[in-house]
């Protein structure tokens, strides 16, 4: 009885977190690489955190990619610094994503950041 196959896409195997149904990018989706993407649309997404707290954040979607990137204030300010405060001006422009860490509630957690440089 076959339960399906998994394609190994990184040098040490497939990160289990990439196999869950998820609507948004996680740091593990980058597989330790920097990835340059073209922004195809930006929407205001309403997100529900653990405990039921709702918040609205920009969500960037990219050409050829299914999942969007939830933009926290840091990433939003970085993109705005390159392409302006109006999200309509972000569309059609490229950004580079990379995995990093940040402090949340006194704990270090992994995250995605946007390079503060317009890709060549």
Domain ranges of the chain: 22-48+55-114
pTM: 0.80
How many Cβ atoms from other residues are within 10 Å of residue 83's Cβ?
Answer: 19
Which residue reads 């969007």 in tokens?
68
Q: Quick one: what percent of the chain has pLDDT higher than 90?
A: 68
Q: Read off the pLDDT of residues 6-48 as tens digits, 9 standing for 90 and up.
A: 454 545 677 676 666 678 999 988 988 999 999 999 999 998 8
Q: What is the mean pLDDT of residues 49-60?
A: 91
Question: Does 1 score more than 60 pLDDT?
Answer: no
User: CA nearest 29: which of 92, 110, 91, 83?
Assistant: 110
Give burial (CB, 10 Å; 0-12/13-18/19+) of 53. exposed
29 φ, ψ (degrees, to nearest 5)? -65, -25
């Amino acid at each position: 009885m076959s339960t399906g196959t998994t394609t190994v896409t990184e040098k040490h195997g497939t990160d289990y977190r990439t196999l869950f149904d998820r609507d948004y990018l996680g740091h593990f989706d980058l597989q330790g690489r920097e990835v340059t993407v073209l922004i195809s649309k930006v929407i205001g997404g309403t997100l529900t955190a653990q405990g039921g707290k709702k918040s609205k954040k920009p969500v960037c979607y990219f050409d050829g990619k299914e999942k969007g990137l939830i933009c926290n204030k840091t990433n939003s300010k970085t993109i705005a610094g390159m392409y302006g405060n109006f999200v309509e001006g972000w569309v059609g422009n490229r950004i580079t994503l990379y995995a990093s860490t940040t402090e949340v509630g006194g704990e270090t957690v992994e995250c995605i950041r946007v390079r503060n440089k317009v890709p060549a």
